[in-house]
Amino acid sequence: VLGTTGFVVVNRPSADGLLRSARPLPEPFTVPLPIPAAARPVRVEGDTDFYALTQRVADVEILPGVRTQVWGYDGSFPGPTFHLRQGRRAVVEVRNSLPVPTSMHLHGGVMPPDSDGYPTDLVKPSGAKQYTYPMRQRAATLWYHDHRMDYTAPQVWRGLAGMCLVSDAEEENLPLPKEQYDVPLLLCDRAFDEDGSFLYPSLESGPGVQPGYDNGVLGDVILVNGAPWPVMDVDATRYRLRLVNGSNARRYELALEPGGQLTQIGSDVGLLDRPRTHESLIITPGERFDVVVDFSQYPVGSEITLTNRLDGPVMRFRVVRRGPSSDPLPERLASWEKLMPESAVETRTFDFRATPHHGMRMWTINGEPFNPDTSLASPRLGTVERWRLSSDFHHPVHLHLAHFQVLARNGRAPEERDAGWKDTVDVRPYEVVEVLARFEGYRGRYMMHCHNLEHEDMAMMANFDIS
């Protein structure tokens, strides 16, 4: 049966949200890590680069020797990686050759509201839209994905996601690993049917998921850049790994086995002020961590597994040869202003929780399911506000446009992983996370939502209007 999402409806209620594949899966660490192709401008005019992107159906090989149909940007999954530069505007013409409407959101991007990929700002089948990204923002690891109202989760699951790396002069002047030593890694999970197609527990009747998946859908196959538990051959030198959690609902606590440090240099939307080392890093859906791993600390021949301590292996690195010796990491990275609570002109509270609504349990913000016509806040352009985000479950909270700094968790100092400028924050069950958000760039309607994509589709979103 084809549901409205075009997925074969799998009638598999779940107790834990885990969707299990119906076919044999490959041995981990046998498929080489793919690097998505770079998007190339089709035209360059003055300070503007023009790109063209087509959303289309394609058959790709994800499991070795097996074809999987995806909905991909330019037919690939992940889509091409954009390399944008501060000060150069990017205009992306998106054509929709899919059988469903779409809306493309550049996550972490600062752009006018009509290019934000608002959930009802749809590109119809056979239609097209120009998205304009002024790129007045700092170097950062961004990503882009579909944002169609009620259907973001199944459409991203089908493949509508890709990465976008923004550079600037400050970053370029730092001695950080570059080129083949700068590796974007998009993490997500999927499940496969017998014939190799993606499984997804759609409802037949409309948006939403089958019973047991309302905390989100998890797959039993971990993909990195679209490959199952891949392996990458590395030189014994420093690598910059851009970790992007593009999963619908899966959280990861990433660590290296048999041991080693993840040195964080960047958060969601930019470089940190100084590097911070972590034994492990929790990364929730939508979040990014820019880390450096020094493979010269391992003898040539070593195998190092990037693992999810909450679940199992993610991918493996094989140190295959000596590498160029690289400069030590600088002690200072980027300079930016640390926001102070006194700078907040307003304090607001947003409570993320499940509430009954017309007899149905819905995921809401301040008791309200998403309504595209209303707004929960009207911050003024150019101001900083203190937002208290509270929750009944794991909700990775994402703000469009506004970047923020984490001020406190349950009244205490934030964690090391909360450092820097962010656009998505891990709010855990019964936690209150306070952030200082700066509303900068453009006036108009933007939104915040839970980045557990099933929660997002089940209405855990709200508008705010910048005036």
Residues at the interface with ligand C2O (CB under 6 A): 105, 107, 145, 147, 286, 398, 400, 449, 451
Neighbours of 194 (CB within 10 A): 10
Q: How far is the CB of 285 from ligand C2O (least distance, A)?
A: 8
The answer to whether residue 453 forms part of the interface with Cu ion (CB under 5 A) is no
- Candidates 465, 429, 403, 459; CA nearest to 152 is 459
Q: How far apart are the first and last CA of the chain?
A: 46
Q: Which residues pair with 53 in a beta bridge?
A: 94
452 binds, among ligand C2O, Cu ion, none (CB under 5 to 8 A by kind): Cu ion
The answer to whether residue 247 forms part of the interface with Cu ion (CB under 5 A) is no
Structure tokens belonging to residue 60: 């790709």
CA distance 465 to 246: 27
Q: How far is the CB of 125 from ligand C2O (least distance, A)?
A: 22
Query: Is the CB of 106 or the CB of 329 nearer to ligand C2O?
Result: 106
* Contact of 240 with 271, CB cutoff 8 Å: no
Q: How far is the CB of 119 from ligand C2O (least distance, A)?
A: 8
User: What does DSSP assign to residue 158?
Assistant: T
Structure tokens belonging to residue 149: 């109202």
Q: Which residue is associated with the tokens 């016509």?
A: 373
Query: Is the CB of 60 or the CB of 354 nearer to Cu ion?
Result: 354
Query: Is the CB of 107 or the CB of 148 nearer to ligand C2O?
Result: 107
Among 251, 395, 400, 449, binds Cu ion (CB under 5 A): 395
276 binds, among Cu ion, ligand C2O, none (CB under 5 to 8 A by kind): none
Among 450, 453, 461, 462, binds Cu ion (CB under 5 A): 450
Q: Which residue is associated with the tokens 């940190």?
A: 272
Q: How far is the CB of 199 from ligand C2O (least distance, A)?
A: 23
Among 141, 308, 390, 452, binds Cu ion (CB under 5 A): 452
- Cis bond before residue 41 (omega within 30° of 0): no
Among 455, 458, 462, 466, binds Cu ion (CB under 5 A): 455
Q: How far is the CB of 153 from ligand C2O (least distance, A)?
A: 11
CA distance 441 to 89: 14
Sequence-separated (6 or more) residues with CB below 8 Å from residue 208: 150, 202, 457, 458
Structure tokens belonging to residue 248: 């619908």
89 binds, among Cu ion, ligand C2O, none (CB under 5 to 8 A by kind): none
Instruction: Note the residues at the interface with Cu ion (CB under 5 A).
Output: 395, 450, 452, 455
